[in-house]
Amino acid sequence: MKKVAVVDLMINQVLIKNIEDNQNLIAEDDDLVFKAPSLCGYGILGLNRLDIYSQNSNSKAGGYFAHYLKCNGYDYLLIKGKSKEPVYIYINNENVFIKSAEEIYFLDKESTENKIKKDLNKEDIEIAQVGIAACHGVDFSRIILGNKSCGKDGLGKLMGEKNLKAIVLNKAEFLKPKCREKLYNINRKIANKLGNEDIEAYYNEQNNCFGCIVNCGSTSIKKIMKKGFSLEEAENLDSISNHYGMDSCIFASIADKEEDFEKLAEDIVFNNKSYELKSSKKSKIHDESDEFEELGFCRFLIKKNILDHDDIKMLKECILGE
């Protein structure tokens, strides 16, 4: 069975339910869904892809959120309706709380994180949050997950429309696999392929994504430069976009070279300045037919042939006992 936390922000209600293993949760109306891969949470190296989707949009990201969602026991977080007041959701295993975000709603990433830690009196948390842009309804707002972000095609905006500033996870312990030894052997194989045999190094939380030492950085500056901006301009556009929590490539496609970028961002975020969205490249849709991608491995790691089909069979056996 897969476990779903359903949070209805309209009526301020939390419901925990189970669905069949072979069932997928369909997003209806204005639902926003966070989905963790079924083998996530057990400590498999490089398995960290979080799937976020609505009726109209789908986006994937690495980071730690999927891992800790699963460690708290959930395969899905389904967010329904819109809250009247700004809120954040806090998940601590069986306990799911809807808490006021009145004081943090218009804060930037770092300030939001610090305030939430203070509010919960807890340092060990993982956060998915929206920035100032989403809270003002900017179309290309992103959902920020530590050093990663996603959801420029409407998901960040949808989270803001729900008055949902953040989702906070307790950093719960890893789930226990059926067979630790087999899992260890598979992890050794992945570590060998990635060129560092020290498995502990993969679990260092300074890494950008759970179970990965590659730590690939953002490619947005290069993409912005391809639009004709200098390195300095691209860095400036990227930094302004990060401050507001919006997609820097789309922001760059709206900006003119001679423009005051800071003023343009303020006009878009605070003064409802109209802008034309040139057709941005949509996030690559998840390829359900790819067994490795379906399991939740990052595409970059899949290309490195970290595992073969027999390994996948063994993985399922040692985690689920199938």
CB of 48 to ligand SF4, least distance (A): 6
Given 79, 169, 212, 250, the residue binding ligand SF4 (CB under 6 A): 212
CB of 315 to ligand SF4, least distance (A): 17
Is residue 46 a contact residue for ligand SF4 (CB under 6 A)?
A: yes
Candidate segments 50-58, 90-98, 195-203, 205-213, binder of ligand SF4 by CB under 6 A: 205-213
Given 124, 263, 300, 320, the residue binding ligand SF4 (CB under 6 A): 300
List the alpha helices (DSSP H) in the chain. 65-71, 109-120, 132-135, 155-161, 180-194, 199-202, 220-225, 231-244, 248-254, 261-270, 291-295, 299-303, 309-320
Cα–Cα distance measured from residue 49 to residue 231, given in angstroms and rounded to the nearest whole number = 30
Question: 169 or 306: whose CB is closer to ligand SF4?
Answer: 306
Is residue 40 a contact residue for ligand SF4 (CB under 6 A)?
A: no
Distance between start and end Cα atoms, the chain: 13
Is residue 191 a contact residue for ligand SF4 (CB under 6 A)?
A: no
Question: 163 or 207: whose CB is closer to ligand SF4?
Answer: 207
Going by their DSSP bridges, the two strands 125-130 and 164-170 should be labelled as antiparallel
Question: 62 or 81: whose CB is closer to ligand SF4?
Answer: 62
CB of 89 to ligand SF4, least distance (A): 24
Is residue 194 a contact residue for ligand SF4 (CB under 6 A)?
A: no
Given 1, 15, 179, 216, the residue binding ligand SF4 (CB under 6 A): 216
Q: What is the pattern of x (binds ligand SF4, CB under 6 A) and - over residues 115-154?
A: ----------------------------------------
Is residue 208 a contact residue for ligand SF4 (CB under 6 A)?
A: yes
Question: 181 or 200: whose CB is closer to ligand SF4?
Answer: 200
CB of 211 to ligand SF4, least distance (A): 7
Place of tokens 């009196």: 121
Task: Determine the distance from the C-alpha atom of residue 26 to the mean position of all C-alpha atoms in its chain, rounded to a whole number.
Answer: 19
Is residue 215 a contact residue for ligand SF4 (CB under 6 A)?
A: yes
Is residue 190 a contact residue for ligand SF4 (CB under 6 A)?
A: no
Give phi and psi for 15, each to the nearest 5.
Answer: -135, 135
Spatial contact of 166 and 112, defined as CB atoms under 8 Å apart: yes
Cα–Cα distance measured from residue 63 to residue 67, given in angstroms and rounded to the nearest whole number = 8
Task: Determine the distance from the C-alpha atom of residue 111 to the mean position of all C-alpha atoms in its chain, rounded to a whole number.
Answer: 19
Q: Which residues of 264-280 are buried (b: 16+ CB within 10 A; e: fewer)?
A: bbeebbeeeeebeeeee
CB of 292 to ligand SF4, least distance (A): 12
Spatial contact of 245 and 144, defined as CB atoms under 8 Å apart: yes
AA letter at 86: P
Spatial contact of 7 and 25, defined as CB atoms under 8 Å apart: no
Considering all CA atoms of the chain, what is the largest pairwise distance in Å, rounded to the nearest integer? 61
Is residue 301 a contact residue for ligand SF4 (CB under 6 A)?
A: yes
Kindly identify the residues of this chain, within the stretch 264-293, that bind ligand SF4 according to CB under 6 A: none
Question: 125 or 212: whose CB is closer to ligand SF4?
Answer: 212
Write down how long the chain is. Answer: 322
Place of tokens 């003023």: 263
Q: What is the pattern of x (binds ligand SF4, CB under 6 A) and - over residues 52-81?
A: ----------x-------------------
Which stretches of the chain bind ligand SF4, using CB under 6 A? 46, 48, 62, 208-209, 212, 214-216, 298, 300-301
